[in-house]
A and B are shown apart, each in its own frame.
Chain A
Amino acid sequence: MQALQQILALTRLSLLSLPQRAGAVSVIVIGIAGVVGVLVSLLAMRDGFQATLGATGRLDEAIVLRAGANAELSSRLTRDDLSVIAAAPGILRDADQRPLVSGEVVVVLNLPKQSTGTDANVELRGIGPEGMTLHRGVTVSAGRAFTPGKRELLAGVGAARQFAGLAIGHTLTLAGEPWTVVGHFSTGDAHESELWADAGVVQSAYRRDGFSSIAVRLTDASAFAAFSAALAGDVRLKVDVQNTRDYYATQSQRLRRLIEVLATAVAIIMAIGATFAALNTMYAAVTVRGREIAILRALGFGAGTIVLAILLEALALALLGGALGGAIAWVVFDNYTVSTLGQNFSQVVFAFQVSWSLVCSALRWALLIGFIGGLLPALHAARLPLPAALRAR
């Protein structure tokens, strides 16, 4: 009980004297804020990318590609393939008993980016008549859907933000012909980075007679096995089938791993640097207060109490720095939208996601740094021989 009172008194003392040591203290706070801020931003980038591509995939949607092709861009399927696949078992049917199957044509276009003005790749997806129903969560957020058979474009909201010239009513020249942007759509997933149009119109404009992929909505996730077995057993087809969750997870694997490894390496090095900075500051703090600490010990404060009080101070500062770094990362980067080269050689637009769990895990790093940074100087202070420490000036 008495020890607790002593610790509280000492902690209060050191916290109250913090403003006088603002310069030294800010080194710990800012150093740790830097570590936490950078770590949170990098991980928020990874999570945002993951969320966008993860949301794109479903267990009850399948994507069919030519055997051996690992992305839509390198795959080609014929009209015959489409009719064979549409007859396979396990496919969900709409109110008119038509199977929810869409033959899709993917081409890559160059459009200038709004931020830099330089050209970047954007995916133009021609979708079949069932496409708008088949893809989950498609809402036309502005304007209207395209009319089949016309050169009209529906731009994803992500693409509309990143690329210039996608406002409703604008006309773009694609494959030498004028196309009109008639609406914007949102899906909450990676499709938002694309432009959508009628598959037939895209095929004729780009002289394609087949499809890049065939998208299928299944009755439920368990129908996948039967569907994929039927396709594998059909001698007329040479295709690979995946559910879209697996497909998009594979597509994003490389970038995810890259961000993960780099973020960890950067965070570890920064944490080491910040630990030394914290050690330095806390050593300086106990040196400056060496006499004061010696007097406290002479008055009967226990060595353990003093160690704890110094440790608490370091942890408080670390927490402050961590909170500051997390807050900065949150203010600057939460929902910060960027785009990068994703699947199909095209831009994927995604937003950074700064979540509580992310900030909390970064705060654990901060506390660890504070703990190491406080413990050694605290032990040092508690071990100084009293007479010498009292005489120091």
Chain B
Amino acid sequence: MTLGTLLLAGLFRRRGRTLLTLASIIAAFALFGLLDAVRIVFNAGADNAGLNRLIVTSRLSLIQPLPLSQLPRIQAIEGVDAVAHANWFGGVYQDRRNFFPNLAVSPAEWLAVHPEIRLTPATREKFLNERTAALAGVDLVDRFNWQTGQKIPLEGTIFPNKAGTNTWTFDLVGAMRGDGDTRSNFDGQLLFRYDYFDEGRLRDHGTVGWYVVRVHDPARSNAIAQQIDALFKNSDAETKTQSEKEFNLAFVKQFGDVGMIVSAIMAAVFFTVLLLTANTLSQAMRERIPELAVLKTLGFSNGTVCGLVLGESVLLLLLGGLGGLVAATLLLPALNGKLGAQLPPLSVTPGSWALGLAIMLGIGLLVGLPPALRAMRLRIVDALADR
């Protein structure tokens, strides 16, 4: 009989109790997987932001447009590689509930400052050359079952067009996908060309919502940000330049303290799990004191006995925790369906797995330590005599 089988035999000594404890741990970690996915979605922009990108907005507010005439002056600053610009279009596809971000961008520059956008060469070619072209993130294409070449009508909520209606029609030239961790940023967006947009709208010609500036050396981005703001100080359109990370963080923070709420719930959940497992384990150990004494009599060292008890609690947490994360992975698609387009798709990321694993080990050790120490210090004579 190896130590491993001894461990398992101990764990499943009372099968009913172990299974019930496992089920509670599974529930706790399923919840962890879900909440961590929510947390990650809310922080996504912040973590994925390129270090070498700056966002230039109006100093008055995010919604105040900036004149396009600022672009060559920003471009001329030393250390600036490329400058792209975007307008928030606020278009609605079919129904107001189908919300997704749609932006009018300068096509070549936008792709140049966002090298993490993946698209086929043919798609890129078309987007750069066809005036009415639109690029859709893969999530959107899946959601609405769009085909390349299809016409996509959007109702402009901000911009009526010259035809006297709100309907703008774009030709879908292909799908785009964010590289690696950036998928949540790009996979749910629709991009189209600024020239088509600016020509078609009734007012505000020659203005943009914000600029995205790629700097050559990330170490100089602060200096360049200050340089840009200094350039337009006291002009009609003063600017506020932030790193993309700062910009996204500020935006996320506006949703309120999602992080605080999520951590509060998680703390409540894990406190309960801690209590429950600690109770189960100490109960199990109390019942098994004579057995442990027998093990020691047979020659198992104090360390081994301590390790056995500790191993049992860690194993319990690992089994339950991994089960819980698997459950979360299976549950999230259904939840995404319910949420519709309220949030980018939630999923259990490798980061969550790693964090979850660390928490499992942590709780396992914390909970196992007191009974393990007690088992180690057990005196054979007392234990066998049931004292």
Q: Which residues of A contact B (CB under 8 A)?
A: 23-24, 26-27, 30-31, 34, 37-38, 45, 66-71, 73-74, 76, 107-110, 113, 116, 118-121, 174-176, 206, 250, 253-254, 257-258, 261-262, 265-266, 269-270, 272-274, 276-277, 279-281, 283-284, 338-341, 345, 347
Contacts and interface: CB of A to CB of B under 8 A. Distances in A.
Nearest to A347: B254
Given A261-B339, A276-B20, A121 B283 contact: no
Given A174-B60, A280-B24, A339-B256, 10 more contacts: A24-B283, A27-B276, A30-B271, A76-B203, A110-B240, A116-B253, A120-B254, A175-B60, A266-B265, A283-B20
Given A74-B90, A258-B339, A276 B23 contact: yes
Contacts of A109: 60-61
Contact of A34 (B30, B272, B343): B272
Contact of B257 (A107, A110, A338): A338
Given A266-B265, A269-B31, A279 B20 contact: yes
A280 B20 contact: yes
A206 B27 contact: no
Contacts of B250: 118-120
A108 B61 contact: yes
25 contacts: A23-B279, A27-B276, A27-B279, A30-B271, A68-B160, A70-B92, A74-B158, A107-B60, A107-B61, A108-B63, A109-B60, A109-B61, A118-B250, A121-B254, A206-B60, A261-B338, A265-B34, A266-B34, A266-B35, A266-B265, A270-B31, A277-B20, A277-B276, A284-B280, A340-B254
A170 to B, nearest CB: 19
Contacts of A279: 20
Contact of A74 (B34, B157, B257, B343): B157
Interface in B143-166: 155-158, 160, 166
A113 B255 CA distance: 12
B367 interface: no
Contacts of B26: 273
- The secondary structure that dominates the B interface is helix
A339 B203 CA distance: 33
Interface size of B as a range: 35 or more
A284 B14 CA distance: 11
B24 A70 contact: no
B268 A37 contact: yes
Interface string B307-349: 0000000000000000000000001000100111011000000
Contact of A73 (B63, B97, B254, B268): B63
Interface string B60-101: 111110000000000000000000000000101000110100
Contacts of B99: 254
A27 B275 contact: yes
Q: List 7 A-B pairs, minimum CB-CB distance, nearest first.
A: A273-B27, A68-B166, A74-B158, A276-B23, A280-B20, A340-B256, A276-B24
A277 B24 contact: yes
A107 B273 CA distance: 48
A266 B31 contact: yes
A178 B63 CA distance: 21
B380 interface: no
Contacts of A266: 31, 34-35, 265
Interface string B217-232: 0000000000000000
A45 B256 CA distance: 12
Interface in B1-55: 16-17, 20-21, 23-24, 26-28, 30-31, 34-35, 38
A31 B27 contact: no
Contacts of A24: 279, 283
Nearest to A269: B31
Contacts of B280: 280, 284
A264 to B, nearest CB: 9
A280 B17 contact: yes
Nearest to B273: A273
A277 B320 CA distance: 13
A68 B156 contact: yes
Contacts of A67: 160, 166
Nearest to A350: B256
Given A24-B279, A345-B62, A276 B272 contact: no
Given A175-B60, A261-B338, A276-B23, A38 B255 contact: no
Contacts of A66: 160
A284 B275 contact: no
Contact of A258 (B203, B256, B342): B342
A276 B339 CA distance: 28
